[in-house]
Amino acid sequence: MYAFTTDVTRKWSRATVALGLVLATLALVACNDDPGRTPSTSSISGQDLDGAPRVTETLEIDVELGDLYIEPATIQLEAGQSLLANVSNVGVLPHDFRLDEAGTRMLNGGESETVEFGPFEQSVQIICTVPGHAAAGMIMNVEVVGAPVAANGDGHHGGASGEPFAQVRPNATPGPEWEPFDPVLPPAVGTGGTLHQIQLDATEVVLEVAPGVTQEMWTFNDQVPGPVLRGKVGDVFEITLTNRGRLGHSIDFHASKVAWDQEMRTLAPGESLVYRFEAKHAGVYMYHCGTAPALHHIGNGMWGAIIIDPPVLAEVDREFIFIQSEFYLGPEGEPGDLGKMQRDEWDIVVFNAYHNQYAHAPIRIEAHERIRAHVLNVGPSENSSFHIVGTIFDTVYKEGAYLLRPDEMRGGSQALDLQPAQGGFVEFEMDAEGLYLMVTHKFSNVGKGAMGIFQAGDVEVGDVAH
Ligand SMILES: [Cu+2]
């Protein structure tokens, strides 16, 4: 008897078993045993002549699509039943509600559509197919009583396509077409009142992140990192963001003080906005797409650096920018995997978005030159402990303040520690010609691609990357 208090009798299906008054009595007992369960009559559209409820061929329900949820999250059907879903998008982002070839079109916020699915013989998942949304929770489980669950969506089982995740081959080298991201940082052009007018396009493009490994990256201007912006305190930035992609995107400049709901709103494909702010505070800042799930948009490459110089900045011989991020590989040529991002399971940790980039393309400097390396950790989730093997930083600037400057105390710094969305710069010199490794001193990540080489002087590089 108590078998009927288990899944078979949960939710509305309790009422659909429809074996007559005996079972109805059992259902009531079950309900009394578990006052948290509320029986639903949504499955009962009629009664047999003898007054007993009967199972209908089609279950009609209302489905609410919100920003990263589907309500109800689970329904139960009898084998052979169909589903008529009145689907409304109550969110801001576009969503759809699909099972293979069946389902709604892409619905904008406020739009509705009624669609039919089934009849069902096995348990399935109906999902929102916008990349990342199913993994973020936009799944409705259709449980066919007593039937197995069929995998669907881009949850924890692999990529949206069902293809296996891309794998980095540690000994691979970039092809002849490969060009490293130039780490040289040009000086600021601003003077403290300069207007910077910049066009940024949000796009989705396939890029190489390690030799032979490509991912669909979500970008600003088809590149990861996005363009490095630089100015001085008092400069005004007027950025026109145009969404030339197929997904919703947005932008959030950490160097700005603006209302989140205005400038940082999500743009539908084809839309533009102008994001204008005065740079009031110096720092090495991140900018990024903040569209939900922001973890997926940042984890997929939608970030860059905006450097606001303090009013006074010492002269150096060379300046560089290194942005640490980690990637969570999806299948080859597909977006990164949101499930891995949610579980902190990164595959590679990289400077300027390529595995062992500056080991493959060492950075040429000279001994005794004064170097300033700007470092930004964009995460989305991992920390950074920026260190150069063989030198000591005599100047450390982190999050808008000098932690160390040369003085009679002769202090030295071995690493700049940065949590996600923190930045700064270090200054140093190499005392002798030779090779100097750049790493994050969280060493489990060095083997995952967070390594580069400074080549001080005309010295042999060899095969350091391997
Ligand atoms: Cu985005």
Q: What is the pTM of this model?
A: 0.74
d(CA 113, CA 119): 19
CA of 294 to the centre of ligand 1 (A): 7
Distance in Å, CA 466 to ligand 1 centroid: 34
Give the mean pLDDT of the chain: 86
CA of 242 to the centre of ligand 1 (A): 12
Of residues 331, 296, 301, 135, the one with CA closest to residue 218: 301
201-210 pLDDT, tens digit each: 999 999 999 9
Distance from residue 202's CA to the centre of ligand 1 (Å): 7
The neighbourhood of ligand 1, an ion, using CB within 5 A, equals 218, 249, 289, 291, 297, 302
Ligand 1 centre distance from Cα of residue 299 (Å): 10
Per-residue confidence at 248, pLDDT binned at 50, 70, 90?
Answer: very high
Tell which CATH classification among 2.30.30.40, 3.40.50.10790, 3.30.420.40, 2.60.40.420 matches the domain 195-456. Answer: 2.60.40.420
H-helix segments, 308-411: 338-342, 357-360
> Residue 98: what pLDDT?
94
Ligand 1 centre from 108 Cα, in Å?
17
Distance 290 CA to ligand 1 centre (A): 6
Cα 161 to ligand 1 centroid, rounded to whole Å: 20
Report residue 158 as tokens. Answer: 């692999």
* pLDDT number for residue 41: 35
Q: Which residues contact 210 (CB under 8 A, 6 or more apart)?
A: 168, 169, 172, 348, 350, 354, 355, 356, 449
Domain ranges across the chain: 1-43, 56-153, 195-456
Q: How far does residue 166's CA lie from ligand 1's centre (Å)?
A: 22
- The answer to whether 63 touches 96, Cβ cutoff 8 Å, is no
Angle at 376 between CA 371 and CA 382, to 5 degrees: 130
DSSP string, 165-203: BP---TT----TT------B-PPP---SS-EEEEEEEEE
Q: Does residue 223 or residue 57 have the better pLDDT?
A: 223
pLDDT at 439: 98
- Under DSSP, the state recorded for 4 is G
Distance, CA 39 to ligand 1 centroid (Å)? 41
Q: Output the CA torsion 266→72→126→268 (10° steps).
A: -10
Task: Give the closest residue to 53 by CA, choosing from 45, 42, 63.
Answer: 45
Rounded distance between C-alpha atoms, residue 348 and residue 326, angstroms? 6
Residue 28 clears pLDDT 70, i.e. is over it? no
Percent of the chain with pLDDT over 70: 84
Q: Do domains 56-153 and 195-456 have the same CATH topology?
A: yes
Q: Which of 70-74, 103-107, 283-287 has the highest mean pLDDT?
A: 283-287
For ligand 1, the distance from its centroid to the CA atom of residue 293, given in whole angstroms, is 9
**pLDDT over 80 (residue 47):** no
Q: What is the reported pLDDT for 27?
A: 37
Q: Residue 171: which pLDDT band, with cuts at 50, 70 and 90?
A: confident
Ligand 1 center to 268 CA (angstroms) = 10
Which residue type sits at 57? E
Which range, of 157-171, 298-312, 325-339, averages the lowest pLDDT? 157-171
Q: Regarding the domain delimited by 56-153, which CATH topology (the fold level of the hierarchy) does it fall under? A: Immunoglobulin-like (2.60.40)
Segment 449-454 shows an average pLDDT of 97
Please state the length of the chain: 466
- pLDDT over 70 at 212, yes or no: yes
pLDDT at 464: 60
- Convert the pLDDT of each residue in 282-328 to its tens digit: 999 999 999 999 999 999 999 999 999 999 999 999 999 999 999 99
Element (H, E) at 297: helix 294-299
pLDDT band at 137; cut points 50, 70, 90: confident
Tell me the CA–centroid distance for residue 222 and ligand 1, in Å: 12
Q: Are 147 and 80 in contact (CB under 8 A)?
A: no
Going from the Cα of 252 to the center of ligand 1, the distance in angstroms, rounded, reads: 10
Banded model confidence at residue 32, pLDDT cuts 50, 70, 90? very low
Residue 165 and residue 337 in contact, taking contact as beta carbons nearer than 8 Å: yes
